[in-house]
C-alpha cells in the first residue's frame, strides 16, 4: 500500500458553477454534484477566497502510492473497515493511479501508523 502523507490542512468546500468560474485557484480536487461543485483546497487558500470559515474542519490527504486498479474489488472497503475499528472517519477518492484517504488532520499521523500495520491478505 505504501501510505504517504501528501497534504495537510485541506478543507472541503461547495460552490456554484458561477463562483467556480470566477476563482483563480487550483484545487486538489474538483467534483461536480447536482447541488454544486465540491472543492478540496488548502485551508489558507479557501480562507483567502472566502470559501470556508476559520473553524472549518481540516483534513489531510494520505495517498496509497501503490498503483491500484479502478476495477479492484474490496480493496478500499477492507481499508476503511479496518480504520473504523479504530474510530477513524475517512473520505476516499479513487483517482486513475492511486487511492487517496482524507482524514481529519489531527489524526493523520495515527492513521499513517495504522495503515503501515494493515494486515494485507495474500
For residue 31, being part of any structural domain is answered with yes
Per residue in 80-90, pLDDT tens?
999 999 999 99
Q: What is the CATH number of the domain that holds 21?
A: 3.30.2130.10
Residue 91 neighbours by CB distance under 10 Å: 14
Cβ–Cβ < 8 Å for 104, 58: yes
Looking at residue 86, what is its pLDDT? 96
Flag the least confident range among 29-33, 38-42, 74-78: 74-78
Name the DSSP letter for residue 47.
Answer: H
Residue where the block lists cell 474490496 = 74
For residue 122, being part of any structural domain is answered with no
Kindly report the CA angle at 106 between 24 and 57, in degrees rounded to 5?
A: 45
For residue 121, being part of any structural domain is answered with no
Whole-angstrom Cα distance, residue 36 to residue 19?
Answer: 10
Per residue in 106-115, pLDDT tens?
999 999 999 9
The three cell numbers locating residue 119: 494486515
For residue 72, being part of any structural domain is answered with yes
Per residue in 60-82, pLDDT tens?
999 998 776 667 778 889 999 99
Cβ–Cβ < 8 Å for 76, 31: no
For residue 15, being part of any structural domain is answered with yes
Name the DSSP letter for residue 53.
Answer: -
What total of structural domains would you count in the chain?
Answer: 1
The three cell numbers locating residue 97: 493511479
**What is the span of the domain harbouring residue 97?**
3-116
pTM as predicted: 0.89
Amino acid at each position: 500500500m505504501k501510505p504517504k502523507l501528501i497534504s495537510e490542512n485541506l478543507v472541503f468546500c461547495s460552490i456554484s458553477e458561477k463562483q467556480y468560474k470566477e476563482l483563480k485557484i487550483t484545487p486538489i480536487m474538483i467534483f461536480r454534484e447536482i447541488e454544486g461543485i465540491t472543492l478540496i483546497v488548502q485551508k489558507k487558500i479557501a480562507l483567502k477566497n472566502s470559501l470556508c470559515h476559520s473553524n472549518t474542519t481540516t483534513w489531510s490527504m494520505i495517498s496509497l502510492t501503490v498503483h491500484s486498479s479502478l476495477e479492484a474489488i474490496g480493496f478500499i472497503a477492507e481499508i476503511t473497515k479496518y480504520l473504523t475499528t479504530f474510530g477513524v472517519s475517512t473520505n476516499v477518492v479513487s483517482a486513475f493511479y492511486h487511492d487517496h484517504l482524507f482524514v481529519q488532520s489531527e489524526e493523520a499521523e495515527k492513521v499513517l501508523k495504522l495503515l503501515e500495520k494493515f494486515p494485507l491478505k495474500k
